[in-house]
A and B are shown apart, each in its own frame.
Chain A
Amino acid sequence: MTRWLPRLVTVVVLAVWAFPLYWAVLSSLTPEARLFESPSLWPRAVTLEHYQTLFAERDFWTPIRNSLIVASATTLSSVIIGALCAYAIARLHFRFKGAVLGLILAVSMFPQISIVSPLFLLLRRLYLLNTYAGLVLPYLSFALPLTVWLLVAYFRQLPADLEQAAMIDGAGRLTILRRVIAPLAVPGLAAAAIVTFIFCWNEFLFALSFTVGPRRQTVPVAVALFRGQYRVPWGQILAASVLATAPVAALILVGQRWIIRGLTAGALKG
């Protein structure tokens, strides 16, 4: 087999895969009038008008702020609660461990649509519709199992010798948790936080169901509901899609090694 053939195939596959991304960015920079003509593969005129309109006329800061608040709050809570739970499952001995882990894994398979109607009625009764708490609480239903699942896989990989050595030195479990495990856990916690944040940032169904009007809409909902006066405002929609993608792209650029290890480690264990 020649050496250039696999490389050529790889390059072609990458190019085909990259095309929608290229097309989205290019179109978001194309003047409005040209968007509705027959398409050209190369830029003929470049403008930032769509990005400017997004902030000047659509108040795109509001959904960005909402998404940041909801995703950060959910990520922070589920990493704290999830890390404790995952540590216990991976490292401590207790009865019903299998049942607890099984329950958490089962919940991570719950279809969101199955709990959307009771959650809506519940949040309405608690006056939490259209609030940040009204999104963070439902988000925990998928974020927490995800975090636990990633962190159990991570904690199991940590060497047990260190803990045993500390225990022989007379350290209690809590001291070990603080002095030995916490420093070692930082990369795993960071990876779990990144993945959880991405899931929350991208969530659509709950945000669509539990918000009314633009005040608490998250980025995906705001973009999906963009309407134009006469025709679909494609320039703004694509500009907003590019902006919605930017933070997750930055996150995976920073954390790609950890993310891949976390995602595949969990999967290989089944």
Chain B
Amino acid sequence: MPKQRDSGIEAADARLAWCCIAPALLVIVAIALVPLAWAAWASLHRNDLRMPWLGQSFVGLGNYAEAAGDARFRESLAHTGLFTAVSVAMELVLGLCLALGLHRAARLRGVIRMAVLLPWAIPTVAVALVWRFMFEDGYGVISAIWSPSSGGWLVGASAAWVPLILSDAWKTTPFVALLLLAGLQTIDDGQYEAARIDGAGRARQLLHVTLPALVPTIVVALIFRTLDAFRVFDLIYVLTGGGPGTSTETVALYTFNSLFGRLRFGYGSALSVIVFVVTFGLALLYIRALDPQRRGGDR
């Protein structure tokens, strides 16, 4: 900045800044940080709301030890990992194809913008219900075309994942494409020009110009989608309810069931702390992975 700031203005600025920030900080501390700390504290206690007369007793890491030995919890972790890996991979690949296609089709941009935003904005509950209806045995439009076994899609332990993953991809691929499209639009035309002069065809341009330039955007999309997919709740609660049995139950769903189904607030809090730690670990991992890329891109 060319002009010199005198220290009086600087101090007034800082005072004003803290006044502006205070309400937001207060809210965030009160409804996000305090509850998080409370959850951590509650996870060290037994607190069974079905038997309130037992009170809350300190059990140390007992709830975490129980979680480590809980087969249903381990399965729910595996389910979540599976759902996250498959749906995010699908969404990134499809989204990249879609973005590359849209980048060329400048004419249709208006229609496409609406088409891209609509699935993203529709309530997940509505999406889940519509997809469940399409996969219902006997009268669902997709079951009418093909159904895996007697009883249909929603009663098969593996088959039930198909509507879950397809509906997630349906809802979020357009959003991924939107992010990647924004990334594509920042690539300098000169780079393509240079590649063309060097005799690079379309495929080589894609491989050597487009994709490397797009890496930071891809990583951002990957972060968003992984974190979202890992805490998936609405879609599964409504579409399969975690069933058949518990074969599509994810960690968020199992945590919810422990809390509000079995009213085990101590154990449920321990599970929610685990979800938090895993989510945060993933976020940190990605951010560290992104950093060198960014510096490379800024050169």
Cβ of A171 < 8 Å from any Cβ of B?
no
Instruction: Tell me the minimal C-beta distance from A234 to chain B in angstroms.
Output: 6
Tell me if A's interface is mostly helix, strand, loop or mixed. helix
Partner of B125, one of A9, A81, A87, A223: A223
Chain B nearest CB, measured from A141 CB (Å): 5
Expressed in whole angstroms, the Cα–Cα distance for A137 and B141 within the complex equals 41
A257 to B114, CA, bound (A): 10
Query: A109 at interface (Cβ–Cβ under 8 A)?
Result: yes
A47 interfacial by beta-carbon distance below 8 Å: no
Residue count of chain B within 8 Å CB distance of chain A: 96
Q: Which residues of B contact A242 (CB under 8 A)?
A: 126
Contact between B118 and A21 (Cβ–Cβ < 8 Å)? yes
A106 CA to B124 CA, complexed, in Å: 23
Chain B residues contacting A144 (CB-CB under 8 Å) are 24, 27-28
Binds A, one of B66-74, B85-93, B128-136, B188-196: B128-136
B184 to chain A, nearest CB (A): 11
Q: Could you say which residues of chain B place their CB within 8 Å of the CB of A223?
A: 125-126, 129
- Contact among B32, B220, B234 for A141, CB-based, below 8 A: B32
Distance in angstroms between the alpha carbons of A5 and B276 in the assembled complex: 47
A114 and B39 form a contact (CB under 8 A): yes
Whether the Cβ atoms of A117 and B279 lie closer than 8 Å is no
Q: Is B31 an interface residue (CB 8 A)?
A: yes
A39 B20 Cβ-Cβ under 8 A: no
Interface size on A, residues (CB 8 A): 94
Interface residue? A48 (CB, 8 A): no
A241 to B234, CA, bound (A): 14
Which residues in A have their C-beta under 8 angstroms from that of B179?
Answer: 263-264, 267
Q: Residues of A contacting B14 with CB < 8 Å?
A: 92-95
Contact of A84 with B21 in the complex, beta carbons under 8 Å: yes
| Interfacial chain A residues near B124, Cβ < 8 Å | 202, 204, 220
Per-residue interface assignment for chain A, residues 246 to 270, with 1 indicating a CB less than 8 Å from any chain B CB and 0 otherwise = 0011011100110110011001101
Task: Report if A88 contacts B (CB, 8 A).
Answer: yes
B64 at the interface (CB under 8 A from A): no
CB of A26 to closest CB in B, whole Å: 10
CB interface residues, B 148-165, toward A, < 8 Å: none
In the bound complex, do residue B134 and residue A20 qualify as a contact, i.e. CB atoms below 8 Å apart? yes
CB pair B276–A36 under 8 Å, yes or no, is no
Q: Which residues of A contact B183 (CB under 8 A)?
A: 268
Whole-angstrom distance from the CB of A47 to the nearest CB of chain B? 17
What residues of A have a CB within 8 angstroms of the CB of B242 in the complex? none
Query: A120 CA to B115 CA in the complex, in Å?
Result: 37
Q: Are B32 and A110 in contact (CB under 8 A)?
A: yes
Question: Bound state CA distance, A140 and B17, in angstroms?
Answer: 21
- Complex Cα gap A263–B220 (Å): 12
Cα separation A153 to B276 with both chains bound (whole Å): 26
With contacts A117-B272, A237-B129 taken as known, whether A268 is within 8 angstroms of B139 at the C-beta atoms is no
| Bound complex: CA A115 to CA B38 (Å) | 9
- B215 interface hit (Cβ, 8 Å): no
A164 sits at the interface (CB 8 A): yes
A252 touches B117 (CB 8 A): yes
Residues in A with CB closer than 8 Å to B112 are: 10, 14
Tell me the residues in window 84-142 of chain B with beta carbons closer than 8 Å to chain A beta carbons. 98, 101-102, 104-105, 108, 111-115, 117-119, 121-131, 133-134, 136, 138-141
Offer 8 A-B interface pairs, CB within 8 angstroms, sorted by A. A85-B20, A93-B13, A93-B17, A115-B32, A204-B233, A252-B117, A263-B179, A267-B220
The 8 closest A-B pairs by CB, nearest first: A264-B182, A85-B24, A118-B38, A241-B126, A88-B20, A118-B35, A114-B276, A220-B125
